[in-house]
Amino acid sequence: MSDSARPGLSACIITFNEADRIEACLASLAFCDDIVVVDSGSTDGTAERAAALGARVLTRAFDGYRRQKDFAVRSARHEWVLCLDADERVTPALRAAIETARDAEFAAAAGFRFARATEYFGAFLRHGNAYPDRVLRLFDRRRGGWRGDREIHEHVSVDGPVQRLAGDLEHRAYRSLADQLARLERYARLMAEHDHARGRRARLTNLVFNPFWRFLRGYVLRAGFRDGWRGLIYAWVEANYVRQKFIKLWLLDRGQRIA
């Protein structure tokens, strides 16, 4: 199929202080017709670097992950959009799968899922809760988007069939253990506040058994142990995130401050 007959494709990225990672992300999206970066006031030159690399950069005050991503999608020039975070990269295999689907005009699907592989201390996790972690990031914005009212752990939903694509989306999430712990602490607070505002209450069993179940499911039942010491640390830190979330929710239920 000629390029003129294929559906246009926009890439959508949100950023804040990602100057060290934005170049690799944008390079992996070179096959897209339009790249829009929505920056929320970076102070490290992210916006300027993205613009120099050919992206269309918009600035918007951050008021939630879902809202920011929805704004990026609505700012795209094409109806089909591919959404990435700045710490993610499209691999050659995934690019080939996307191009094949695009050559077929994204027929019979409103969106596409693909596996996401997380890099952790120098190697990609291939088991446990970390993989394949299939995400819906390629979709027709006329039939879906970043819906709902949850601003943390946001996700795309579409009206219509969803197909899977081969290839991985690389996720280079954490710069260090300190970065991971700080990020998960923030996510735990946001999730606790979200759940509390909607009437969910924490029980003592949640504080004890939910973290244990997360570890058991990821490390044992989903074979996270096959990733060696990386799999162990990842599963343990992830379980601690669940523990923090329910502790914070427990405290909010009792009128205590958590931040």
What are the tokens at 95?
């690019």
User: Quick one: 31 and 99 in the same domain?
Assistant: yes
Query: Is 223 within a domain?
Result: yes
Query: Is 36 within a domain?
Result: yes
pLDDT digits (tens, 9 = 90+) for 105-164: 999 899 999 999 999 999 999 999 999 999 999 999 999 999 988 888 889 999 999 999
What CATH number should be reported for the domain holding residue 103?
3.90.550.10
User: Quick one: 137 and 227 in the same domain?
Assistant: no
Query: Residue 180 and residue 174: Cα distance in Å, rounded?
Result: 5
pLDDT the model gives residue 151: 82
pLDDT the model gives residue 108: 85
- End of a domain among 171, 190, 205? 171
pLDDT the model gives residue 4: 60
pLDDT digits (tens, 9 = 90+) for 74-89: 999 999 999 999 999 9
User: Quick one: 15 and 141 in the same domain?
Assistant: yes
The boundaries of the domain holding residue 13 are 3-171
Query: Is 200 within a domain?
Result: yes
User: Quick one: 186 and 154 in the same domain?
Assistant: no
For residue 242, pLDDT beyond 60:
yes
pTM above 0.75, yes or no: yes
Cβ proximity of 97 and 25 under 8 Å = no
User: Quick one: 14 and 136 in the same domain?
Assistant: yes
- End of a domain among 121, 145, 171? 171
User: Quick one: 161 and 66 in the same domain?
Assistant: yes
User: Quick one: 79 and 152 in the same domain?
Assistant: yes
User: Quick one: 115 and 189 in the same domain?
Assistant: no
pLDDT digits (tens, 9 = 90+) for 18-62: 999 999 999 999 999 999 999 999 999 999 999 999 999 999 999
Number of domains observed in the structure of the chain: 2
How buried is 149 (Cβ within 10 angstroms: 0-12 exposed, 13-18 middle, 19+ buried)? exposed
- End of a domain among 128, 150, 171? 171
Query: Is 259 within a domain?
Result: no
Query: Is 258 within a domain?
Result: no
3-state helix, strand, coil in the chain (%, to 5): 40, 25, 35
pLDDT digits (tens, 9 = 90+) for 4-23: 678 999 999 999 999 999 99
The DSSP annotation for 44-89 comes to SSHHHHHHHTT-EEEE---S-HHHHHHHHHHT-SSSEEEEEETTEE
pLDDT digits (tens, 9 = 90+) for 172-214: 999 999 999 999 999 999 999 999 999 999 999 999 999 999 9
User: Quick one: 117 and 17 in the same domain?
Assistant: yes
pLDDT the model gives residue 152: 83
